[in-house]
């Protein structure tokens, strides 16, 4: 593990849009897997609808984990402002 390896990864992530899309899709799938393991059942779209009803900042520090990510092989704008890695 090294700082230079982390920097090379971020450089590659910024240079290769497809890599970012692929990783975002994997993160979205893993997020939903963890949610289901916690006993909840809903779709990505239903989660986005529920988040839309909250006031800005209501999720606090967990907001990054719940950023809008691509799902169903469609790219969506990230609504949390910090992008994928924040």
Whose CA is closest to 47, among 61, 65, 73, 60? Answer: 65
In this prediction, residue 52 has a pLDDT band, given cuts at 50, 70 and 90, of: confident
- pTM, rounded to two decimals: 0.59
Confidence check: pLDDT of 58 > 80: no
Number of domains in the chain: 1
Residue 80 lies in a domain: no
- Greater pLDDT, 41 or 20: 41
Contact between residue 36 and residue 29 where contact means Cβ atoms under 8 Å apart: no
Confidence check: pLDDT of 68 > 80: no
- Average pLDDT of span 27-50: 89
Whose CA is closest to 77, among 65, 62, 67? Answer: 67
Output the six-digit token pair for 9: 């990864």
- Domain ranges, residue 12: 3-66
Confidence check: pLDDT of 64 > 80: no
Residue 85 lies in a domain: no
Residue 10 lies in a domain: yes
Residue 81 lies in a domain: no
Contact between residue 71 and residue 11 where contact means Cβ atoms under 8 Å apart: no
Residue 29 lies in a domain: yes
Number of CB atoms found within 10 A of residue 9's CB: 12
Residue 78 lies in a domain: no
Residue 50 lies in a domain: yes
């Amino acid at each position: 593990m090294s700082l230079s390896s982390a920097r090379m990864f971020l450089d590659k992530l910024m240079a290769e849009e497809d890599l970012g899309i692929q990783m975002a899709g994997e993160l979205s799938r893993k997020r939903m897997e963890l949610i289901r393991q916690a006993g909840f059942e809903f779709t990505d779209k239903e989660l986005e609808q529920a988040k839309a009803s909250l006031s800005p900042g209501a999720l606090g520090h967990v907001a990054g984990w719940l950023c809008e990510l691509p799902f169903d092989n469609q790219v969506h704008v990230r609504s949390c402002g910090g992008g994928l890695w924040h």
